[in-house]
Structure 1
Amino acid sequence: MINESPLVVQIVLFDGFDPLDVVAPFEVFAAGGDATGGQLSVRLVSAEGARRVVGGTHGLALEASARLDPALPGFIVVPGASGPIAGDPDVVDTIPVLLARVGETGLPGLIAAALQADGVTVATVCGGSLALAMAGILEGRTAVTHVQGMDVLDATGVHTVDARVVDDGNLVSAGGVTSGLDLGLYLLERSFGPRIAHAVERLFEYERRGVVWRSTGLVPVPA
């Protein structure tokens, strides 16, 4: 597939983001841009604009270069969070708290606008879908999150599917932390075909794993 204009991948940074949720798809999309001869570019953004954003793993920080543009054709990738393990009474910024705080930022409004825009696909890694669902913008959609958050995701009104990647049209979600690789490769294949995705797989010496769920084909007969 040849796109008339290059697609842009905007990977969102927020305070407490999980670094692997960001870097894994960043690498895949950057390689995909090379493999397509520049038909795809990738950038780090935030809801607030250009700023230094501190992640949740030992203070690792990355630089957002611009404000998220919800109308820019391409993909918007929302990562999950990382941080201290829940259960320590002296710890405040647990992963659920960090994900809930996303709802207090301008990100949910921007993502809601992106889901209404033509040519934009919102993608999430790990707890990214849970952060958006807790903010109230994924009700009625189909998605997956980290296995430890599936019950909470279901409680927000999201139809949950236990798959590695869930394709719900302009919303594509992936499960655990390393699934950012599978998400990126799947979106490369969906937009540019299997040869591009395979070239990036070979470059990284990584084979996609797990099932990609789509709302197509026969409906399984109940057991």
Structure 2
Amino acid sequence: MDAQIVLFDGFDPLDVVAPYEVLVAGSDAVGGELHVELVSAEGPRPVTGGASGYPGTRGLVLQATGQLDPTKPGFVVVPGALGPIEGDPDDGVDTIPVLLARFGDTAAVPLIREAMANPEITVATVCGGSLALAMAGLLDGRHANTHHLGVDVLAATGAIPVRARVVDDGDLVTAGGVTSGLDLALHLLNRGYGPRVALAVEAMFDYERRGTVWTNSGRLPQAV
């Protein structure tokens, strides 16, 4: 099984590094059966995190070592972007919405669309990653979550927002704000390899998953 974490220009580093470390630890816990790799749509290349000139990343660069492959069974993880929330794009300000919209014009979108059509792949997102897919037209009618500041935008794209830290909609798993990448990756390990593996990784990182994972099942609650 493969876990491909997709890098794109302007990515949020914590959206990438948190699930990367958890999934790598999970791979160690299952004897290396899970191959974890940083990829890009363009193939191996250095990828700069955050908006151009944005001080939050100090120009952090991560190396994509492979090309996103929508035929590999496993997980494809899409992070959000990091940059200013407000600003005038006409003045050259790369806000988070601008970065996410720009992602929609890259070669990543047709590859992720192909991955979403592959029954052997679960596509997962952290924070604004779901917005990137929704703005590209990939989440119409799907249950999903994102950073709380982007929920209204998510709804406007045709997705169905669910305010849970991790939303499991079958072959699509989305998570809320930045640190929820930890919970997302632990849930993926639990789905793929069972609770004992997930618990072992929790113990190693001295971290307990937060919140109830939402699934489209069970009784509908009455208003309280």
SS at match of 1:62: strand
Task: Give the superposition deviation at 1:83.
Answer: 1.2
Task: Give the superposition deviation at 1:221.
Answer: 2.6
User: Quick one: which amino acid aligns to residue 39 of structure 2?
Assistant: V
User: Quick one: which amino acid aligns to residue 106 of structure 2?
Assistant: T
Greater displacement, 164-173 / 202-211: 202-211
Written as runs of structure 1 = structure 2, the 5 A alignment for 1:39-188 is 39-56=33-50, 57-87=57-87, 90=91, 92-188=93-189
State percent identity of aligned pairs: 66
Residues 84 and 91, structure 1, Cα contact 8 Å, conserved in 2:
no
Gaps of 5+ in 1: 1-6
Task: Give the superposition deviation at 1:49.
Answer: 0.8
Q: Give, in whole Å, the separation in 2 of the partners of 1:175 and 1:65.
A: 27
Q: Give, in whole Å, the separation in 1 of the partners of 2:6 and 2:189.
A: 18
SS at match of 2:70: coil
Alignment length (residue pairs): 217
TM-score, length basis structure 2: 0.94
Q: Give, in whole Å, the separation in 1 of the partners of 2:85 and 2:187.
A: 31
Query: What is the CA RMSD across the aligned residues, in angstroms?
Result: 1.2
Residues 71 and 118, structure 1, Cα contact 8 Å, conserved in 2:
no
User: Quick one: which amino acid aligns to residue 176 of structure 1?
Assistant: G
TM-score, length basis structure 1: 0.94
Task: Give the superposition deviation at 1:18.
Answer: 0.2
Task: Give the superposition deviation at 1:95.
Answer: 0.7
SS at match of 1:43: strand
